[in-house]
């Protein structure tokens, strides 16, 4: 098991956060280092990250959860999410690929139907479904909520 520290991100880690997001292939928009919590190893490298993204005054999303591939499977993502949730009011939302749903269900998130999604997430879901017609992944985008 590796040693790491979970803490708020520093401005000097902004590039590392962006590099990690690109490495794992998730949405690179809306990356503001001030909203990030990071896991940093003994060498000062950002090995995992996540943020709480605001969408207006009363809508929050757990987003940009990324773990460097060599550090996966050690519970670091869960620790990042738990830290973010400890500072976030409810309800809080997240979007994930269908295969990640069970991980978030362990944290008591539940998938919500389209009709119950806030308008922002309905728009994203529509765009995803249109794009998937061309990409043909067949995987679903889940919008999940924790109350």
- DSSP 3-state of 83: helix
* pLDDT, position 130: 85
pLDDT tens for each residue of the chain, 147 residues long: 789 999 999 999 999 999 999 999 998 989 999 999 999 999 999 999 999 999 988 899 999 999 999 999 999 999 999 999 999 999 999 999 999 999 999 999 999 999 999 999 999 999 988 887 776 777 789 999 999
* pLDDT, position 88: 94
DSSP 38: E
CATH 3.40.630.30 boundaries in the chain: 1-87
Alpha-carbon gap, residue 121 to 77, rounded angstroms = 23
Tokens of 61: 């999303």
What backbone phi and psi angles, to 5 degrees, belong to 16?
-65, -40
* pLDDT, position 139: 79
The terminus-to-terminus CA distance of the chain in angstroms comes to: 33
Cβ distance 66 to 24 under 8 Å? yes
Domain 1-87 has CATH 3.30.1280.10: no
* pLDDT, position 92: 97
């Amino acid at each position: 098991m590796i040693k790491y520290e979970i803490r708020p991100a520093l401005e000097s880690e902004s590039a590392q956060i962006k590099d990690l997001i690109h490495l794992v292939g998730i949405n690179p928009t809306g990356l503001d280092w001030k909203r990030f919590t990071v896991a940093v190893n003994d060498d000062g490298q950002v090995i995992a990250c996540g943020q709480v993204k605001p969408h207006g005054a009363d809508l929050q999303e757990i987003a940009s959860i990324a773990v460097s591939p060599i550090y996966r499977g050690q519970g670091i993502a869960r620790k990042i999410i738990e830290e973010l949730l400890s500072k976030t009011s409810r309800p809080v939302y997240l979007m994930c690929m269908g295969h990640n749903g069970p991980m978030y269900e362990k944290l008591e998130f539940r998938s919500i139907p389209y009709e119950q999604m806030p308008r922002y997430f309905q728009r994203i879901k529509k765009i995803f479904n249109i794009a998937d017609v061309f990409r043909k992944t067949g995987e679903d985008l889940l919008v999940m909520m924790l109350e």
